[in-house]
Structure 1
Amino acid sequence: MSPVAENKWVKVGQKGSGPGPRSSHALTVVGDKVYCFGGELKPTIHIDNDLYVFDLQTQEWSIAPATGDAPFPCFGVSMVPIGTTIYVYGGRDDTRRYNGLYSYDTLRNKWELLSPVEEGLPGRSYHSMACDDRNVYVFGGVTAKGRVNTLHGYDVVGRKWVEYPAGGEACKGRGGPGLVVVEGKVWVLFGFDGNKLGDIHCFDLGSGQWTTVETTGDVPPARSVFPAVRSGKQIVVYGGEEEPHELMHMGAGKLSGEVYRLDTETLVWEKVVDGTEEGKKPSPRGWCAFAVAVKDGEEGLLVHGGNSPTNERLDDMVFRRF
């Protein structure tokens, strides 16, 4: 199969009561179920705290019959899965109240508050999360005191936070970065500190050391609020905001619709050819929700919603296999 034929976006049909148009929300996948939480329809105004569930087989949305202590409605939130449990952290409402760390057991349909924001990690929004088999990692974001460059891990077995060394002077505090774990290393890509950042930093969990990473090839322009996921030893990034709007979060800046891949061994970027037919390409976007999913037996990037170049929130779902 030719590279062009492989690199196509596919629009995923949606039935049922779904989340609708929104941005600054979170998406994650457990098995053949996609979970969606949080977001905004209008800038800085939260929507709801329903947990939406999308069945990849039937392509139908429903609302999870959740019990327990759920996060309050918020935007700028992140979540990741470990096993059959989802971990949701952060996000804020329109009064700048922040959520702590919650888990959602997808087998029991139950929320649990694991770490109140008053006792655990300082609250934040527009941070990034990633995970391995045992730990949830949180980097950066916007706190009540401004943008931070801190890295923390939550051990889901020991149920405790671990504070790692901060990124240092080279790795500025930022919102909306990419965060990916590849073979024991945590990668921080790009972000926003008042300006769009194009730098990359890597934290080695074994040695406890940060490294500023220099890359070559088709290096993507600086950006923030974009999907970043792992595919084997590669990091795949898509979309995001390359230039901010003069109204900042109240407007839509220059948004990307391109896909790039970084080989974490050779440190060479490749811009992926888009073989999607004209008229069927998804809109450029930022602030979208994303996750790695398996659709029709193939693993790839699943994206829902986000902000469009017209500053209107999107409600489509698109998939692109790796």
Structure 2
Amino acid sequence: MLRWTVHLEGGPRRVNHAAVAVGHRVYSFGGYCSGEDYETLRQIDVHIFNAVSLRWTKLPPVRPAIRGQAPVVPYMRYGHSTVLIDDTVFLWGGRNDTEGACNVLYAFDVNTHKWSTPRVSGTVPGARDGHSACVLGKTMYIFGGYEQLADCFSNDIHKLDTSTMTWTLICTKGNPARWRDFHSATMLGSHMYVFGGRADRFGPFHSNNEIYCNRIRVFDTRTEAWLDCPPTPVLPEGRRSHSAFGYNGELYIFGGYNARLNRHFHDLWKFNPASFTWKKIEPKGKGPCPRRRQCCCIVGDKIVLFGGTSPSPEEGLGDEFDLIDHSDLHVLDFSKYTYSQSAPAIKVPVCGW
């Protein structure tokens, strides 16, 4: 039986950040927190959660190797993506209130904690945020997002072969998924499963007629074709800014937000690609409150979920001006050895803050 086993408070307060798991550690990159200064350009911050000691640490700022020369570090941003390939975290995209969106590829070495900007070739995707990124082998796939230069939603798929550092715009076959941002894309085998996100009823340009698709779309990386998918009798509500992860060959989604319903979610759904069916899951224990723009990572048989933003309990409105940003962390345990009851919330000392 699935169970929420850990609830910690006192971590970094972050929204719209990006994270990867490296062994028993979770690396969190950037994001934002209401009330902080995002007009001043500064280095992206990196927080590390140790899933064994249950402690957070923060890496110190990078100092320039040559005096007077700025270090190679991405600027603070949100709506970006990170993936892990071997011992390197590749960070791409995202935006900042001062610089706008970015399409420079950054590489972070998890052993040395040093940043670099690999030399790339090919068709580089336009700067954007709210896209998705997932990995098959040594190739990173980027889908969708909101393109800054075109000022529209995207449904392009780009791939980066990290063995040659070559970008390719894939000329997909089949009926493509709709333009969207803040969706999820999860790789199961050689298939990329896209769910949710925000789109516009009338096309790729934003006309304030938002729609939230709740159909699964499947992209076959071998044939580079969007597949025709059968109807599903039971579906989650459409949403954006949710979390998604693959475990044991199945897809899970948690949380998110639907502006048309003015509703934040904290439900957990499982999608079985073999039967093409959804099932709502009710884990034991006390889970996270309704939220969006959180991060989640797989650490062994556990899912580590942290951060995000929720409606203020005083206001209960849920619009952009009545949200509370979270500094909590929750663990969803998939292993057969679970605690008999949910662990109480505790304050966790933060080292190197």
Q: TM-score, normalised by structure 1?
A: 0.85
| Residue correspondence of structure 1 range 29-178 to structure 2 within 5 A | 29-42=21-34, 46=38, 49-65=44-60, 67=62, 69-95=72-98, 96-114=100-118, 120-144=124-148, 145=150, 146-166=152-172, 170-178=176-184
For the 8 Å contact 2:232–2:277, the answer to whether it is kept is: yes
CA distance in 2, matches of 1:244, 1:116: 40
The offset of 1:38, in angstroms, is: 1.3
**1:59 alignment partner AA:** L
The equivalent of 2:252 in structure 1 is 236
Q: Is the 8 A contact 1:98 1:117 kept in 2?
A: no
Give the drift of 1:216.
2.6
Q: Which has the higher contact order (CA 8 A, sep 6+)?
A: 2
State the SS of the aligned residue for 1:308.
strand
Deviates more, 1:112-121 or 1:199-208: 112-121
In structure 2, C-alpha distance between the alignment counterparts of 1:115 and 1:225, rounded to whole Å: 31
CA-CA distance at 1:105 after TM superposition? 0.7
- 3-state SS of the aligned residue for 1:255? strand
| Cα distance, 1:116 vs structure 2 | 7.8
Q: Equivalents in 2 of 1:175, 1:45: separation in Å?
A: 25
CA distance in 2, matches of 1:121, 1:44: 30
5+ long unaligned stretches in structure 1: 1-5, 246-252
Which amino acid is 1:28 matched to?
V
Q: 1:65 Cα deviation (Å)? A: 4.9
Partners of 2:173 and 2:327 in 1: CA distance: 35
Which amino acid in the other structure matches residue 90 of structure 2? Y
Name the CA shift for 1:152/1:244 in 2 (closer, same or farther; >3 Å). same
1:320 — aligned with what? 332
Which of 189, 195, 209 is residue 195 of structure 2 equivalent to? 189
Instruction: Tell me the percent identity.
Output: 24
Contact 2:43/2:74 (<8 A) preserved: no
Q: Secondary structure at the match of 1:286?
A: coil
- Partner of residue 249, structure 1: none
Residue 167 of structure 1, CA deviation: 7.8
Rg larger in structure: 2
Aligned equivalent of 1:248: none
Pairs aligned (count): 300
Describe the shift of the 1:23–1:258 C-alpha distance in structure 2 as closer, same or farther (beyond 3 A): same
Rate the CA distance shift 1:321–1:132 in 2: closer, same or farther, 3 A.
farther
Q: 1:22 aligns with which of 14, 29, 34?
A: 14
Amino acid at match of 1:40: Y
Q: How does 1:292-303 map to 2 (within 5 A)?
A: 292-294=298-300, 299-303=301-305
Quote the Cα distance in structure 2 between the aligned partners of 1:45 and 1:143. Answer: 24
Any unmatched runs of 5+ in structure 2? 63-70, 200-209, 313-322, 335-353
Which shifted more, 92-101 or 234-243? 92-101
Render the CA deviation track for 1:260-305: whole Å, top value 9, x for unaligned.
11111111111101322xxx331111111121122xxxx1321111
Q: In the aligned structure 2, how far is the partner of 1:43 from the partner of 1:267? A: 43
**Is the contact between residue 99 and residue 116 of structure 1 (CA under 8 Å) also seen in structure 2?**
no
Preserved contact between residue 49 and residue 55 of structure 2 (Cα < 8 Å)? yes
Matches of 1:123 and 1:263, distance apart in 2: 34
